[in-house]
A and B are shown apart, each in its own frame.
Chain A
Amino acid sequence: AQSVTQPDIHITVSEGASLELRCNYSYGATPYLFWYVQSPGQGLQLLLKYFSGDTLVQGIKGFEAEFKRSQSSFNLRKPSVHWSDAAEYFCAVGETDKLIFGTGTRLQVFP
């Protein structure tokens, strides 16, 4: 069955530091991959998505993600984190017309 794993439940970084959030997926075919961000008490905002082509995908708010087929990974990165990036981050894989979400990674940013 298709699944998404986000190994890190909680990550803490200092403002200005680099960030990498891990995402691994299990999917039979070429996956459609997404990263969403959720601020407390809010809905989800799409950061970026990968369908095909260039494996390095640029998103909003300075985020990028790299699709690595050999590792079944789609890690999210940002070179310099801002305090406003503190939120919950969800990786998802598209299956037919549905999305399968990972369990999320909570990012905490210290000044």
Chain B
Amino acid sequence: GAVVSQHPSRVICKSGTSVKIECRSLDFQATTMFWYRQFPKKSLMLMATSNEGSKATYEQGVEKDKFLINHASLTLSTLTVTSAHPEDSSFYICSASKLAGERNTQYFGPGTRLTVL
């Protein structure tokens, strides 16, 4: 199997607060984890790529100081949205690729719905 979990599934917070989202690979070790953002009725936008023990690589236009990514182990990556504002409200999805898996094959978590009031 290749199961990826995310926690929480849904979060509502006040503007100015920070929110942490966890992404875990439950039954495999992940070399790389990816964080996506999905707007309503839109495709997935890659925000950043993270490898265990190293700094994340952010896509152009994504503020690394706002979206903090930590990849502490081969099964856990976290995304922290700092000083969240209503425009950060979105559906955030993580994915993971296996340590010894086929290239480019990513397994996705169920997503986290963030609402900033």
Q: Are A101 and B49 in contact (CB under 8 A)?
A: no
Query: Complex Cα distance A78/B105, Å?
Result: 22
> Residues of A contacting B106 with CB < 8 Å?
46, 99
Number of interface residues of B (CB under 8 A): 25
Cβ-defined partner of B44 (8 Å) among A51, A94, A101: A101
Q: Are B46 and A46 in contact (CB under 8 A)?
A: no
Q: Which chain B residues in 87-117 approach chain A with CB under 8 Å?
A: 91, 93, 95, 97, 102-111, 113
Q: How many A-B residue pairs have CB under 8 A?
A: 56
Interface of B is mostly: strand
Q: How far is the CB of B99 from chain A (nearest CB, A)?
A: 13
Q: Which chain A residues in 64-106 approach chain B with CB under 8 Å?
A: 90, 94, 97-99, 101-104, 106
> Residues of B contacting A98 with CB < 8 Å?
34, 46, 49, 104
Which of B42, B102, B104 counts the most chain A CB atoms within 10 A?
B104
Q: How far is the CB of A97 from chain B (nearest CB, A)?
A: 6
Cβ-defined partner of B4 (8 Å) among A34, A36, A43, A97: A43
Known: A43-B110, A98-B49. 5 other contacts (CB 8 A): A44-B44, A46-B107, A90-B43, A90-B44, A97-B97
A residues sitting closer than 8 Å to B (CB atoms) are 32, 34, 36, 41-46, 49, 51, 90, 94, 97-99, 101-104, 106
B residues sitting closer than 8 Å to A (CB atoms) are 4, 6, 32, 34, 41-44, 46, 49, 91, 93, 95, 97, 102-111, 113
A-B contacts, 16 of them at CB < 8 A, read A32-B103, A34-B105, A41-B91, A41-B113, A43-B108, A44-B44, A44-B93, A44-B95, A45-B108, A46-B105, A46-B107, A94-B104, A97-B32, A98-B49, A99-B34, A99-B106
